[in-house]
């Protein structure tokens, strides 16, 4: 079987199973492990802290296109997607190591510009870039590992498996803007007003680091960042928590510029577009309501976790009618991928 047939998530599941078989309870590394493969980051106890690590590749013509993304934004986003994973664990990002693969013909100036974008975000978020390697390759590939931590103690981390039946489902910010921005960037002929915010949402996402720490502190236990798309990422929480989810589509905070410009397609972009890097989390109604009051970022309740329909995300309209999900989140290795 080819990896294209198995799909990205199928391959990750398979490799997870292989890695799990090597689990050795006599080994301190395994003993101290809290979270392995299958969450936004791995986590383990270390002294008085919980250590977090996450890695993501950002590859030319798979994850970004130099035809539409300036080098500075490529650097920014390559780091942002990793910081977003630490945010989804409620962690504090601290260190990053950067592995760059580049065609030999790449201009040095372009790489220093890429680094400038990356370092701008690192400075804003208190992250020290402390190492890496470089080598030549046919396409530009940026592979970043981010190390972070949370305060140690009981319930000290956000996971995909921490949701409970009856939890409200909430999201930070607005959805659909990044994928609308991508539509605009790749189709310059498209007629859209107020495109700056949408382009920026795609090129220059802001990882929700402060919000991740806030929701953890307020008692939230389950979260994920929206990278593949709301439905796809909520599906990860459903499977990991062994629950179902009901989403009231009219409650979804579709970005106003997306609503204004993509009338028919706006909801689809918000549900399945991905790359918004907002946080999706679940918690008791009183916990989520308290967060809504104190957070400087908009927090919207969009549905509820259910004990039945395990692993399924059900969409309903304001009359309680069920909607069909026409398009899943982005999955690499699928032949229909973007």
Site for its own copies in 64-93 (CB under 8 A): none
Q: For the CB of residue 78, give the shortest distance to its own copies in the complex, in Å.
A: 12
Place of tokens 């395994």: 30
Looking at the DSSP bridge assignments, the partners of residue 224 are 280
Beta carbons of 24 and 30 less than 8 angstroms apart: yes
By CB under 8 A, residue 161 contacts its own copies: no
34 versus 195: smaller Cβ distance to its own copies: 34
The one among 23, 187, 309, 327 contacting its own copies by CB under 8 A: 23
Strand 33-35: give its sheet, edge to edge.
Answer: 33-35, 42-46, 49-59, 141-151, 92-102, 128-136
Nearest CB to its own copies, comparing residues 59 and 316:
59
Query: Per-residue contact track with its own copies, 313 to 332, x per CB under 8 A?
Result: -------------------x
Among 68, 119, 192, 316, contact with its own copies (rule: CB under 8 A): 119
Stretch that binds its own copies, among 44-52, 160-168, 231-239, 246-254 (CB under 8 A): 44-52
Exactly one of 112, 194, 308, 322 binds its own copies (CB under 8 A); that residue is 112
Q: Which is nearer to its own copies, 213 or 261 (CB)?
A: 213
102 is an interface residue for its own copies by CB under 8 A:
yes
Q: Kindly state whether residue 224 participates in binding its own copies, applying the rule CB under 8 A.
A: no
Convert 266-302 to b/e letters by CB count within 10 Å (16 or more is b): bbbbbbbbbbbbbbbbbbeeebbeebeeebeeebbbb
Cα–Cα–Cα angle for 39, 24, 89, nearest 5°? 20
Which is nearest to 83 in space by CA: 212, 220, 265? 212
β-pair partners for 58: 142
Is the Cβ of residue 122 or residue 246 nearer to its own copies in the bound state?
122
Q: Which of 49, 249, 297, 316 binds its own copies (CB under 8 A)?
A: 49
The size of the chain, in residues, is 338
> Applying CB under 8 A, does 36 fall inside the site for its own copies?
yes
Q: Name which of residues 170 to 209 contact its own copies (CB under 8 A).
A: none
User: Which CB, 14 or 310, lies closer to its own copies?
Assistant: 14
Cβ closest to its own copies, residue 2 vs residue 154: 2
Residues 141-160 that bind its own copies (CB under 8 A): 141, 143, 145, 147, 149
- Name which of 272, 288, 267 is nearest 170 in CA terms: 288
Taking CB under 8 A as the criterion, the residue among 46, 65, 308, 322 binding its own copies is 46
Q: Which pair of structure tokens corresponds to residue 27?
A: 């080994």
Kind of pairing between the strands at 322-323 and 299-306: unpaired
| Cβ closest to its own copies, residue 67 vs residue 135 | 135
For residues 36 and 219, which CB has a smaller minimum distance to its own copies in the complex? 36
Report which DSSP code applies to 167. P
Single out the residue of 296, 300, 258, 266 nearest to residue 281, CA to CA.
Answer: 300
Q: Do the beta carbons of residue 183 and residue 338 sit within 8 Å?
A: no
| DSSP bridge pairs for 95 | 128, 147
Q: Does 15 bind its own copies (CB under 8 A)?
A: yes
């Amino acid at each position: 079987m080819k990896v294209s047939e198995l799909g990205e998530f199928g391959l990750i599941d398979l490799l997870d199973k292989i890695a799990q078989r090597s689990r050795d309870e006599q080994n301190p590394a395994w003993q101290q492990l809290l979270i392995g493969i299958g969450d936004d980051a791995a986590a383990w106890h270390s002294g008085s802290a919980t250590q977090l690590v996450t890695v993501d590749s950002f590859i030319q013509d798979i994850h970004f296109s130099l035809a539409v993304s300036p080098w500075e934004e490529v650097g920014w986003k390559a780091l942002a997607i990793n910081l977003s994973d630490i945010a989804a664990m409620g962690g504090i990002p601290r260190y990053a190591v950067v592995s760059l693969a580049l065609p030999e013909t790449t201009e040095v100036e372009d790489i220093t510009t890429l680094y400038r974008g990356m370092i701008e975000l690192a400075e804003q978020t208190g992250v020290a870039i402390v190492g890496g390697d470089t080598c030549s390759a046919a396409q530009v590939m940026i592979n970043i590992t981010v190390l972070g931590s949370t305060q140690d103690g009981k319930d000290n981390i956000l996971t995909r498996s921490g949701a409970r039946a009856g939890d409200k489902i909430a999201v930070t910010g607005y959805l659909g803007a990044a994928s609308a921005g991508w539509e605009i960037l790749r189709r310059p002929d498209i007629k859209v007003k107020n495109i700056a915010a949408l382009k920026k949402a795609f090129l220059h996402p802001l990882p929700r680091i402060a919000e991740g720490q806030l929701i953890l502190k307020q008692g939230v236990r389950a979260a994920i960042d929206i990278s593949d798309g709301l439905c796809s990422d909520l599906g990860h929480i459903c499977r990991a928590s062994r629950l179902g989810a009901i989403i009231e589509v009219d409650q979804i905070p579709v970005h106003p510029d997306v609503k204004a410009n993509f009338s028919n397609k706006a909801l689809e972009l918000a549900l399945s577009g991905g790359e918004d890097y907002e946080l999706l989390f679940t918690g008791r109604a009183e916990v989520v309501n308290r967060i809504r009051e104190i957070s400087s970022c908009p927090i919207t309740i969009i549905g509820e976790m259910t004990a039945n329909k395990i692993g399924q995300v059900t969409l309903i309209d304001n009359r309680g009618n069920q909607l069909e999900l026409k398009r899943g989140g982005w999955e690499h290795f699928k032949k229909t991928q973007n």
